[in-house]
């Protein structure tokens, strides 16, 4: 039975890295400390973390491998270990165990793979362990890839029966026509969609349009979804305390 305090937080590569593309250790700590506070408040968080390719790049440089797919495999294989090392060391300072869950698209299609994934999440959450999820970039290539980790985060939120999904990137939310952040997107309201730029910023694979679509779909399933700026201090806790921050995609329940 899913706990109603399950929450999925996704952090993008642009949150975890600085402008010079190295990992921002302070942000890692801020994310972990906020998740620790959530756990102490009775939440069961799942963290979906990008940054493997970015971390790999900060360790071995851009790599001279000409084949783009192989380069991505090598960078993510190197970087994933350092990502997990950072998370493990931070969580353990607070006596919390975290675990690496690497997923492919197949794990979310009906059948045995799906059930294995459910069992894995239930097993970890049941032990009070924080699952840290990323796409298995080493084996998922081309057509078998998730659109981006926002899609993976949305699927994870649905799979575990989360009450909320928080997508953190380096922008403050979805901007409306006047240039201000739109704080609430009611169900089936696609009016702001037309104003979203299709441009992608920085190193992440996703963009605002795909975030918008995932957030709309996840909210339609009854999971409140928030797009906000992960560079801001205390952002996760501020969202949960109801501050007017980021863009909230309302569920049917919340719109009443």
The answer on whether 50 is annotated among ligand-binding residues is yes
97-126 binders of ligand GLU (CB under 6 A): none
* Residue 50 binding ligand GLU, by CB under 6 A: yes
Beta carbons within 8 Å of 18's beta carbon, 6+ residues apart: 24
Binding marks (x or -) toward ligand GLU, 173..212, rule CB under 6 A? -------------------------------xxx------
* Residue 148 binding ligand GLU, by CB under 6 A: yes
* Residue 52 binding ligand GLU, by CB under 6 A: yes
Stretch that binds ligand GLU, among 47-55, 60-68, 154-162, 228-236 (CB under 6 A): 47-55
Q: d(Cα 141, Cα 70) in Å, to the nearest integer? A: 9
* Residue 224 binding ligand GLU, by CB under 6 A: no
Stretch that binds ligand GLU, among 48-56, 157-165, 221-229, 237-245 (CB under 6 A): 48-56
Tell me the site size for ligand GLU, rule CB under 6 A. Answer: 15
Beta carbons within 8 Å of 138's beta carbon, 6+ residues apart: 73, 76, 77, 80, 102
Q: Which residue lies nearer to ligand GLU by CB, 50 or 216?
A: 50
Among 13, 104, 218, 247, binds ligand GLU (CB under 6 A): 13
* Residue 86 binding ligand GLU, by CB under 6 A: no
Among 30, 58, 73, 76, binds ligand GLU (CB under 6 A): 76
Q: Which residue lies nearer to ligand GLU by CB, 13 or 247?
A: 13
The answer on whether 137 is annotated among ligand-binding residues is yes
The answer on whether 149 is annotated among ligand-binding residues is yes
Known binding residues for ATP? 10
Which parts of this chain interact with ligand GLU (CB under 6 A)? 13, 50-54, 76, 134-135, 137, 148-149, 204-206
């Amino acid at each position: 039975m899913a706990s109603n305090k399950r929450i999925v937080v996704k952090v993008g590569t642009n949150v975890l890295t600085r402008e010079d593309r190295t990992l921002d250790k302070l942000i890692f700590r801020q994310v972990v400390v906020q998740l620790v506070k959530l756990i102490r408040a009775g939440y069961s968080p799942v963290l979906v973390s990008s940054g493997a390719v970015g971390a790999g790049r900060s360790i071995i440089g851009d790599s001279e491998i000409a084949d783009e797919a192989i380069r991505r495999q090598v960078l993510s294989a190197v970087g994933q270990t350092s990502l997990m090392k950072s998370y493990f060391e931070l969580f353990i300072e607070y006596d919390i165990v975290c675990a690496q869950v690497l997923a492919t698209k197949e794990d979310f299609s009906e059948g045995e793979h799906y059930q294995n994934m459910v069992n894995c999440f239930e097993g970890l959450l049941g032990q009070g362990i924080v699952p840290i999820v990323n796409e298995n970039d080493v084996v998922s290539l081309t057509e078998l890839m998730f659109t981006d980790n926002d899609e993976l985060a949305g699927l994870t939120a649905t799979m575990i029966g989360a009450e909320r999904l928080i997508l953190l990137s380096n922008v403050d939310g979805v901007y409306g026509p006047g240039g201000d952040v739109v704080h609430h997107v009611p169900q089936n309201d696609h009016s702001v969609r037309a104003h979203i730029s299709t441009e992608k910023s920085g190193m992440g694979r996703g963009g605002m349009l795909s975030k918008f679509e995932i957030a709309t779909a996840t909210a339609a399933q009854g999971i409140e979804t928030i797009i906000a700026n992960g560079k801001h201090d205390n952002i996760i806790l501020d969202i949960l305390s109801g501050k007017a921050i980021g863009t909230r995609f309302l569920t049917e329940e919340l719109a009443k």
